[in-house]
A and B are shown apart, each in its own frame.
Chain A
Amino acid sequence: MFDNSISKLVNWLDTRYNISPVKTFIQHKKVPVHKFSFFYYLGGITLFLFIVQVITGIMLLMYYKPGEDSAFESVRFIVTEVNFGWLIRNVHSWSANLMLLFAFAHMFSVFFTKAYEKPRELTWVSGMILLIMAMGFGFSGYLLPWNELAFFATKVGTDIVGVVPFIGDTLKEVLRGGDDVTGATLSRFYGIHVAILPLFTTIFLVMHLFFVQKQGMHEPASFKKIPEEKKRYTPFFPNFALKDALLWIIVLNILIFLALIFPWELGLKADPFASAPAGIKPEWYFMFMFQTLKFIPAHVLFIEGEILGVLVFGLAGLMWMLVPFVKVKAKAGAKIQLMTIIGIVIVAFIVIMTILGYLE
């Protein structure tokens, strides 16, 4: 009965819009099976957590009031008075963190399997843009509860922007909506968080997903070497899609567990005339940069330490984004390729700096 009505609906649509190409596409989409197949799920989990962010974010919008005198109070109202408000806010915060975690995992899995190589250069670039925007989401959303930690994190973060040569000062002023972090900054961050970033994220996400569908799943070098008749594939629909769905349900459960057991504190309301509290730390995904800045001395030769740090990180980020366009000759005899070594060094640097940041 149910099957019958679905095929009736499909037929109805098909006679009007010719959806048979979509049907053929779904029927033929396949996923390679090999020892790294698990990597194929990481992007999907990131996407799932993004969907959770959109839903919980829209829900929080119903009660959140931006403004120096209302932001903190409205978040306090959400977590203390609103039915399940605490749950929605905790899920939003945890999902944001997990989304970034999975985005990083997704990025490095793509890097180490060299999935960014021709013809997938633009998938990598659009993914990097999405990651940068996800960090922008994190940074702007962090300020919205207008608490002490957020206030100083924003002061530091926007002040760093100010050291960028030539345009830094203007950029900082535009971000802050004035010379200092005030209610004007909160208004801007709110606009960035709920309008500007969602718009551009949607555009780049659609591009990213379109590229992936158009080109199909990447096959790692070890898989490509297998003779054609011995390659194993699993159909995307329904096999892979169902596994995807199962994993999403597991991630949802982890998310709810974290939100219940480890709630996010609201802290004290921001006070522009109070000292920065001891033990202040940025979000973990900014920690490695924060920690590196601590190690750079005030002056290196004739450059201020901060400017050097920002320039190095900016340049490194740009090179990372342009990795698919860098031609590195693969050494035939080498056990480990140069790009893999670079990747391991970068991961080691990020991990060590992050751990150091939390040990202090």
Chain B
Amino acid sequence: MPLNRRKFINSLLGIGGLGGLVTIIYPALSFLKPPKLAKPNVNSVKAGSALGFPANSSKIIKFGRKPVILVKTAEGNFLALAGTCTHLDCIVQYKEDTKQIWCACHNGVYDLNGRNVSGPPPRALDNYTVKVIKDEIIITTQAV
């Protein structure tokens, strides 16, 4: 009989202790998960003068919190692609010699439509729309 009472008390203590542990661990783990910050709702950004932008060159533009790569082709056309490599999050660059988008981190290559041509990138880069209004370059997210 006394053994049973001991068992009963022990399991009660065990369950209580476990519950107590959860009330400590849960807030501690939740604390480590960063709160979601409000994302700036950016649909378009201005990227400076179109005439002042040299042909066959590029620039990284801040699009909200995301980088976007703006390219003026050798023919003088503008195009904009997501600047973040789909492979491992590095920021890509425009190769003036091969006229391709290149990521230095793991040698990923995209064409100017954003298609992943070679190397490890698993997906294409998202396209942005570029308009030039009164010499002002305007980049907008593509209507889905």
Binding site for B on A (CB under 8 A): 152, 155-156, 158-160, 170, 173-174, 176-178, 180-181, 184, 272-280, 290, 293-294, 296-299, 304-306
Contact (Cβ within 8 A) B106 A294: yes
What are 18 A-B pairs at a CB distance below 8 A?
Answer: A155-B88, A156-B105, A174-B32, A176-B34, A181-B89, A273-B62, A274-B60, A274-B91, A275-B83, A275-B93, A275-B104, A276-B104, A280-B90, A280-B105, A294-B120, A304-B122, A305-B122, A306-B87
| Smallest CB gap from A177: residue in B | B34
Contact (Cβ within 8 A) A180 B65: yes
Residues of B within 8 A of A298 (CB): 116, 119-122
Residues of B within 8 A of A155 (CB): 88-90
Contact of B60 (CB < 8 Å), options: A160, A173, A273, A299: A273
B103 at the binding interface (Cβ < 8 Å): yes
Least CB distance, A147 to chain B, in whole angstroms: 15
| Smallest CB gap from A309: residue in B | B120
In the bound assembly, the distance between CA atoms of A274 and B87 in angstroms comes to 17
Contact (Cβ within 8 A) B91 A306: no
Contact (Cβ within 8 A) B92 A275: yes
What number of A-B contacts does a CB cutoff of 8 Å give?
Answer: 79
Least CB distance, A311 to chain B, in whole angstroms: 16
Contact (Cβ within 8 A) A293 B37: no
Interface residues of B in 90-117 (CB under 8 A from A): 90-93, 103-107, 116
In the bound assembly, the distance between CA atoms of A221 and B69 in angstroms comes to 62
Contact (Cβ within 8 A) A174 B33: yes
Residues of B within 8 A of A274 (CB): 60, 91
Residues of A within 8 A of B62 (CB): 273
Binding site for A on B (CB under 8 A): 32-34, 37, 60-62, 65, 67, 69, 83, 87-93, 103-107, 116, 119-122
In the bound assembly, the distance between CA atoms of A279 and B122 in angstroms comes to 22
Residues of B within 8 A of A278 (CB): 93, 104
Residues of B within 8 A of A160 (CB): 88
Contact (Cβ within 8 A) B34 A279: no
In the bound assembly, the distance between CA atoms of A82 and B119 in angstroms comes to 44
List the 10 shortest-distance A-B pairs measured between CB atoms, nearest first.
A275-B93, A159-B89, A276-B90, A276-B104, A159-B88, A156-B88, A155-B89, A298-B122, A278-B104, A177-B34
In the bound assembly, the distance between CA atoms of A155 and B85 in angstroms comes to 11
In the bound assembly, the distance between CA atoms of A306 and B88 in angstroms comes to 9
Known interface pairs A275-B92, A276-B104, A280-B104; 20 further A-B residue pairs with C-beta atoms within 8 A, sorted by A's residue number: A152-B91, A155-B88, A156-B89, A158-B89, A159-B88, A173-B34, A174-B34, A178-B34, A184-B34, A274-B91, A275-B83, A275-B93, A276-B90, A276-B93, A278-B104, A280-B90, A293-B106, A293-B120, A298-B120, A304-B122
Contact (Cβ within 8 A) A275 B65: no
Residues of A within 8 A of B91 (CB): 152, 273-276
Interface centre among A155, A177, A297, A298, by most chain B C-beta atoms within 10 angstroms, is: A298
Residues of B within 8 A of A156 (CB): 88-90, 105-106
Residues of A within 8 A of B89 (CB): 155-156, 158-159, 181
| Smallest CB gap from B108: residue in A | A298
Residues of B within 8 A of A299 (CB): 122
In the bound assembly, the distance between CA atoms of A305 and B92 in angstroms comes to 20
Contact (Cβ within 8 A) B120 A306: yes
Contact (Cβ within 8 A) A273 B120: no
If A177-B34, A178-B34, A297-B120 touch, does A273 touch B105 (CB 8 Å cutoff)? no
Residues of A within 8 A of B34 (CB): 173-174, 176-178, 184
Residues of B within 8 A of A173 (CB): 33-34
Residues of A within 8 A of B69 (CB): 275
Contact (Cβ within 8 A) B33 A273: no
Contact (Cβ within 8 A) A279 B104: yes
If A294-B106, A298-B120, A305-B122 touch, does A272 touch B88 (CB 8 Å cutoff)? no
If A178-B37, A273-B67, A294-B107 touch, does A152 touch B90 (CB 8 Å cutoff)? yes
Contact (Cβ within 8 A) B104 A277: yes
In the bound assembly, the distance between CA atoms of A304 and B67 in angstroms comes to 24
In the bound assembly, the distance between CA atoms of A273 and B33 in angstroms comes to 25
In the bound assembly, the distance between CA atoms of A299 and B119 in angstroms comes to 11
In the bound assembly, the distance between CA atoms of A170 and B89 in angstroms comes to 16
| Smallest CB gap from A180: residue in B | B65
In the bound assembly, the distance between CA atoms of A48 and B89 in angstroms comes to 37
